[in-house]
Amino acid sequence: MSVTLDIRLKRANKVYHEGEVVAGVIVLVCKEPLQHHGISLSMEGLVSLQLSSKSVGVFEAFYNSVKPIQLISSNIEVAKAGKVPGGKTEIPFEFPLHTKGNKVLYETYHGVFVNIQYTIRCDMKRSLLAKDLSRNCEFIVHCQPQKVKVVPTPVNFTITPDTLQNIRERSLLPKFLIRGHLDATNCVISQPLTGEVVVENSDVPIKSIELQLVRVETCGCAEGYARDATEIQNIQIAEGDVCHGLAIPIYMVFPRLFTCPTLETTNFKVEFEVNIVIVLHDDHLITENFPLKLCRV
């Protein structure tokens, strides 16, 4: 006998803030009456941390997960053992989003080594011969917006062979001069990162100009800290040998879930950076790095 179990939240965008109530319905669809041994619902918020293999050593990489941090946890019994009638049954539920003690609800974030996730799980126990049913549903938590006004401070940059670091032989470099600015490096997460870049002159033709958003995740404990930078997205803003002296706009929207307001706690840190990458025709890369501070207002 086929049974489907589903969790539907009242809010279509699934975004909640601390102190609000997560409300929805459990939907059970079965053709004929169904016997069960109880339906329960649990809500959990977890920070899962993982160390990268390069920071743990190859052999320890198999048991490299650091203990997860529980932010919120609550259980309710929706229905005692009994029968569900045939057809469609909807059971409403509500969970208040309150933390226990002095814990803080961090914003939902899907990273590589740091993951902050909030889920609701419904379990339906059945008799020995029938398989238990369970269903997971993720919802998104946004931290409370800051009351302070973010004042954008523009950052100007100039890239020449003399400003570059990590270079073996500076004398072999072609001559180039690239200027530009970012409108702000303390960014509001719901607004795009903007600015412009101008190629004043370059001895060698340019192949491409790209904008790379990078997450910098730091996990740590008493043994030490592991800091890993990984790419979130890469946007090409210019193709081929661009006109010299022409202002090329920089425009990048921060992706949902993969970015969150800059976060610093005792066990982990989540920070963001943006790289402006100029690819020359001989595939040389010129990179200018800017740390960003993201916040929600």
Helix, strand, or coil here: 139?
strand
239 DSSP β-pair partners: 208
Q: What is the pLDDT of residue 56?
A: 59
* Residue 223 covered by a domain: yes
148 lies in a domain? no
210 and 110, same domain (yes or no): no
Q: Show the domain range for 62.
A: 3-142
The DSSP bridge pattern shows strands 133-141 and 15-16 to be: parallel
Beta strands in 105-202 (DSSP E): 109-110, 114-124, 133-141, 155-159, 176-182, 186-188, 193-202
Mean pLDDT, the chain, as a whole number? 90
- Assess whether 33 and 131 both reside in one domain: yes
pLDDT at 262: 95
Count of domains in the chain? 2
Task: Write out pLDDT tens, residues 42-73.
Answer: 999 999 988 776 665 544 544 555 788 899 99
Residue 29 neighbours by CB distance under 10 Å: 15
pTM over 0.75: yes
Separation between Cα atoms, residue 187 and residue 293, nearest integer Å? 6
pLDDT digits (tens, 9 = 90+) for 190-230: 999 999 999 999 999 999 999 999 999 998 765 667 889 99
Which H or E element spans position 72?
strand 65-79
Across 57-79, b (16+ Cβ under 10 Å) vs e yields eeeeeeebebeebebbeeeeeeb
Average pLDDT of 5-9?
Answer: 96
- Residue found by looking up tokens 């740390």 in the block: 291
| 211 and 83, same domain (yes or no) | no
For residue 178, give every residue at least 6 positions away whose Cβ sits within 8 Å of its Cβ, in sequence order, or none. Answer: 158, 159, 160, 197, 198, 199, 200, 202, 278, 286
In a domain, 150, yes or no: no
Domain boundary among 142, 174, 205: 142
Indicate whether 137 and 167 sit together in one domain.
no
Domain assignment present for residue 241? The answer is yes
Asked if the structure places residue 228 within a domain, the reply is: yes
Cα-to-chain-centroid distance, residue 1: 40
Domain boundary among 142, 176, 194: 142
Q: Which CATH number fits the domain that encloses residue 13?
A: 2.60.40.640
* pLDDT score for 128: 83
